[in-house]
Structure 1
């Protein structure tokens, strides 16, 4: 009888050990998966935010070019080319804004991105060089504000 009891205790101990080990391994695996997912999300956010900043910077440059070509010769082919390029850059920037909206963790980051985009879109409407410079600076400052907010979203 003592041998059966010893064997039963040994089997129960083994089963308990297996169950506890399995539980700890599941928790460790879940934790590892969560860390990997957070790293992936951080990497994707960095890419999206960086792409947005780059495309809005190019969009702002295109808006400046559009204004200067119109100022030089409103009916010339260079003005038309600059306007078409500005429209293309606007589309690229809008696409980047949509990506920000899909991945950002806070409405504040999205609002800052939208504000930077909207200010940049209006740069070409300046009435003179002074206003062009002021609008361009406001758009650049709004983009820098977005970058500051976005950097806290990827930490």
Structure 2
């Protein structure tokens, strides 16, 4: 009888161990899948934001030169680029795990928007260069997060 109880206890323990092991494995796989998906989403969002800021920068610079030349600029492309940038910015805000990344994105967004208010060519070029620098800073911070 004692042998039977011992055998049943061993079988029960083995079954319980197997069930717990399967649960932990399943949980860890789901967690790793979620983390991998978040990593890919962050990477995609960060790339899209950097691209959108640089495209908005180009559109603002084009508009600046056209307007200073006395021509009328079709603002549709500027508004489209601005909308794309804002959409990409919100993705960064939602997905970034680091406050420095969110702040860096906000700084790049604000800096690029200042191009339209430049009164001189030198100021416009300065703000354009500063925008590129802010995007570089954003990318450096984002790269740190996605390389972990």
TM-score bracket for this pair, using the shorter chain length:
over 0.9
- Return the match for 1:147 from 112, 132, 139: 139
Cα deviations across residues 95-138 of structure 1 (Å, max 9, x unaligned)?
11111111111211111001101100111221222111111000
- Are 2:87 and 1:90 aligned? no
- Return the match for 1:42 from 39, 42, 61: 39
Task: Name the residue aligned to 2:49.
Answer: 52
Q: Structure 1: state its 5+ residue gaps.
A: none
Task: Name the residue aligned to 1:8.
Answer: 5
Which is greater in Rg? 1
- Are 2:108 and 1:112 aligned? no
- Are 2:23 and 1:26 aligned? yes
Tell me how far apart the structure 2 counterparts of residues 69 and 109 of structure 1 sit (CA, whole Å).
Answer: 34
Tell me how far apart the structure 2 counterparts of residues 134 and 96 of structure 1 sit (CA, whole Å).
Answer: 24
- Return the match for 2:114 from 116, 122, 130: 122
So what's the TM-score if we normalise by structure 2?
0.94
RMSD of aligned alpha carbons: 1.2
**What is the Cα deviation at residue 18 of structure 1?**
0.6
* Corresponding residue pairs, total: 147
Single out whichever of 16-25 and 42-51 deviates more from structure 2.
16-25
**What is the Cα deviation at residue 33 of structure 1?**
1.5
Q: Structure 2: state its 5+ residue gaps.
A: none
Deviation >4 Å, runs of 4+: none
* SS of aligned partner of 2:97: coil
Tell me how far apart the structure 2 counterparts of residues 84 and 43 of structure 1 sit (CA, whole Å).
Answer: 31
Tell me how far apart the structure 1 counterparts of residues 103 and 138 of structure 2 sit (CA, whole Å).
Answer: 9
